[in-house]
Amino acid sequence: MKNIPTAGTSGDDTLRHHYLRIDGQRVHCVSAGSGQPVLLIPGWPQTWYAWRHVLHALAEAGFEAIAVDPPGIGESDRPAHGYDTGSAAAVLHQTMQALGHERYQVVGHDIGMWIAYALASDQPQAVQRLAVTEAVIPGLAPEPGIFAAPADNIFLWHFMFNQVADLPEALISGRERAYLDFMFDRWSYRRDAVASETYIAAYSRPGALRAGFAWYRAIPETIRQNQVRAQRRLTMPVLAIGAEHATGNAPMLTLQPHADDLRGSVVPGCGHFIMEEAPQAFLAQLLPFLQEADHAA
């Protein structure tokens, strides 16, 4: 496992970019600060850059914040397989080990929440605390009805579409901007805060659409795994945060039957892209939770 750090490659000298080889594939992550490690996992269709505000805030608070591009996302490799959350969680755990961290805290957004749950469940000896936001978890949450109301369907329609083989790529290739802007426009509340140009560029690269859709095509396997995970409860402290104009209290309700020590909140005046749209309100919930680890140690 080789770690090649480079400083300032995103125009910010306070950030350190790392390129690691994990089981033969490249994994890219960006770190800031020093102290207790915190792994930040983004969702789809974003990259590590969604955590830029959180990276700096955690670094200033005395943490080492590590935002990762999971397999298939951003500057990480796009393997043909391994998009079920168990496989992804194993890669990210090895990534943290390669960075020198056997025990760490985890924060996940959207699909990153799926991976974060799998990581906490599969590696409880490593995950000190778990914070998740803006998703429900396949296999834990009830399956939505096919005839969902339009206000709900705007957050649901892509789950079935993205799972279809070949058709999404055929329709969207060359039209990535129209497809992604549709979601950024409708899933956000503070649209100007979302770095959509960065994400459109990332998902316009060769293979990026296919890799993004692979997370959805792996949902049946993720559900199978989560039905097994559901038989063991999370014993570490868990924080579940929703956004008023997106999932609301659904993240907390999803994990309520599965965590011994769960707390939750809903950030007002915010859409799905919570770390970008309302970073201060998000950090007001997240930072005290992570800092509790100092007192518990």
> For 269-291, what is the mean pLDDT?
98
Query: CB within 8 A of 221, min separation 6: which ones?
Result: 84, 86
Residue 297: the pLDDT is 59
pLDDT tens figures, 175-195: 999 999 999 999 999 999 999
Query: CB within 8 A of 260, min separation 6: which ones?
Result: 233, 234, 235
pLDDT tens figures, 111-142: 999 999 999 999 999 999 999 999 999 999 98
Give the C-alpha separation, 162 to 16, whole Å. 33
Q: Given the residues 83, 216, 245, 258, select the one marked as catalytic.
A: 216
In angstroms, what CA-CA distances link 218 with 85, 114, 127?
A: 8, 12, 24
Tell me if residue 117 is catalytic: no
Whether the predicted pLDDT of 13 surpasses 80? no
> For 144-172, what is the mean pLDDT?
93
Residue 294: the pLDDT is 75
> For 25-44, what is the mean pLDDT?
98
Give the C-alpha separation, 220 to 214, whole Å. 11
Q: Given the residues 109, 110, 158, 199, select the one marked as catalytic.
A: 110
Query: CB within 8 A of 18, min separation 6: which ones?
Result: 3, 4, 5, 6, 28, 29, 30, 31, 99
* φ, ψ (nearest 5 deg) of residue 248: 60, -130
Q: What is the DSSP-derived secondary structure letter of residue 270? A: -
Q: How distant is the alpha carbon of residue 8 from its chain centre?
A: 23
Say what the pTM is.
0.95
Inter-residue long-range contacts of 172-179, CB under 8 Å, 24+ positions, other chains counted: 172/209, 173/209, 176/200, 176/203, 176/204, 176/209, 177/204
Query: CB within 8 A of 52, min separation 6: which ones?
Result: 67, 195
Q: Given the residues 28, 245, 258, 272, select the one marked as catalytic.
A: 272
Per DSSP bridges, beta strands 16-22 and 3-7 are antiparallel
Tell me if residue 101 is catalytic: no
Average pLDDT along the chain:
94
Whether the predicted pLDDT of 3 surpasses 60? no
Give the C-alpha separation, 8 to 134, whole Å. 29
Whether the predicted pLDDT of 244 surpasses 80? yes
Residue 96: the pLDDT is 98
Residue 143: the pLDDT is 85
SS3 2: coil
Q: What is the DSSP-derived secondary structure letter of residue 47? A: -
Proportion of the chain above pLDDT 90, given as a percent: 91
Whether the predicted pLDDT of 296 surpasses 90? no
Tell me if residue 216 is catalytic: yes
Query: CB within 8 A of 21, min separation 6: which ones?
Result: 1, 2, 27
b/e per residue 104-122 (b: at least 16 CB within 10 A):
bbbbbbbbbbbbbbbbbbb
| Selected residue with higher pLDDT from 145 and 260 | 260
